Amino acid sequence: RAKAKGSGYYQVYNKSISRQLSEEMVIEKYLYDATANEAFALEYQPFVDMKTGEIVETEALIRWYHPEKGFIPPSQFIPLAEKTGLIIPIGNWVLWEACRQNKVWQDKGYKPITMSINISALQFAREDFIEVVKATLKEVGLAPQYVALEITEGIAMENIEENIVKLRQLKELGVKISIDDFGTGFSSLSYFARFPIDSLKIDRSFIQNITNSRQSQTIVATIISMGRALGIENIAEGVETKEQLAFIKGESCHKAQGYLFSKPINPEDFEKLLSENKRYE
Ligand code: C2E
Ligand code: MG
Ligand code: MG
Ligand code: MG
């Protein structure tokens, strides 16, 4: 009996796994269609300068609304896009659209800001990556100094020499380089110091725990002072409360991003912030 019960459990478990798998296959199929039709959108979330309260930068975040499935978050489809290789055409589209949008805002006469764009490790690893960035900027007519590429710490863990060369070439092109989710990647700091990097984005998990964990306070303060010593700018991710803001300001963090200021918003709403020259406390 026990055995029968056991196999029954196994069946239930098995069914739920196969249901998950077929769900993933359905989404995968939808993802091919969405990529072919460029059925994505970008939202924009401001980065605020801690000294002036001004919006000095924005991150482009991809959005996918499927007609039947509704909103599918990037945490769900980006890994699938990476698995299928679709991240290359999707990433190229994001790069192009974010640069195009920034150029449109500049042409309208708003104070120029930097456009921060998430780059998958698979995009970065491509031999033609620098050419793609260069061609996109040229096509769109955007000056490279208004673009920051967000990559992850992983680049300081594999193909280190090759990646340093690649980053130098990007710097020569004139774009900025940020390390996203810094502090979560276990990269070797001795390698890391050799990377030509403009900013560190301190991972949201540390910011979230600032008010209740001495350990997180120490980590955040240490990252900020390390960045300063290396001449790298610091950006705090995921600032949600005034207490968190007070702490990072106290540590002289340069910029911050988070729901306390604004969630990611559509281009029309972001443009309103630009047109009113929005300043935060
Ligand atoms: P990320 O690059 O670290 O982006 C920040 C994420 O944190 C965004 O989630 C943003 O909405 C969220 N966030 C910002 N401030 C706060 C806050 O105060 N509280 C909380 N709880 N969350 C906050 P989103 O848009 O869901 O994106 C998730 C991840 O998906 C991104 O993390 C990035 O890794 C990836 N992603 C998004 N767009 C792209 C893209 O165009 N290309 C690639 N390769 N990855 C992307
Ligand atoms: Mg990012
Ligand atoms: Mg991040
Ligand atoms: Mg993150």
Contact (CB, 8 A) for 145 and 113 = no
> Using one digit for the tens of pLDDT, what is the confidence trace for 133-142?
999 999 999 9
d(CA 106, CA 142): 9
Top-confidence residue, 16 or 37: 37
> Does the beta carbon of 203 lie inside 6 Å of ligand 1?
no
Q: Does residue 253 surpass a pLDDT of 50?
A: yes
SS3 238: coil
> Does the beta carbon of 267 lie inside 6 Å of ligand 1?
no
> Does the beta carbon of 54 lie inside 6 Å of ligand 1?
no
> Using one digit for the tens of pLDDT, what is the confidence trace for 234-243?
999 999 999 9
Ligand nearest to the CA of 57: 2
Model pLDDT, residue 274: 98
> Using one digit for the tens of pLDDT, what is the confidence trace for 124-177?
999 999 999 999 999 999 999 999 999 998 887 889 999 999 999 999 999 999
Calculate the alpha carbon distances from 219 to 123, 212, 263 in Å: 30, 13, 25
Comparing C-alpha atoms, which of 145, 142, 147 is closest to residue 119? 147
> Using one digit for the tens of pLDDT, what is the confidence trace for 43-60?
999 999 999 999 999 999
Model pLDDT, residue 1: 44
Among 45, 58, 61, name the best residue to mutate to test ligand 1's pocket (greatest count of ligand atoms within 8 A of Cβ).
61
d(CA 60, CA 98): 6
Which residue owns the Cα nearest ligand 1 atom 35?
Answer: 74
Q: What is the mean pLDDT of residues 237-255?
A: 97
> Using one digit for the tens of pLDDT, what is the confidence trace for 86-104?
999 999 999 999 999 999 9
> Does the beta carbon of 264 lie inside 6 Å of ligand 1?
yes
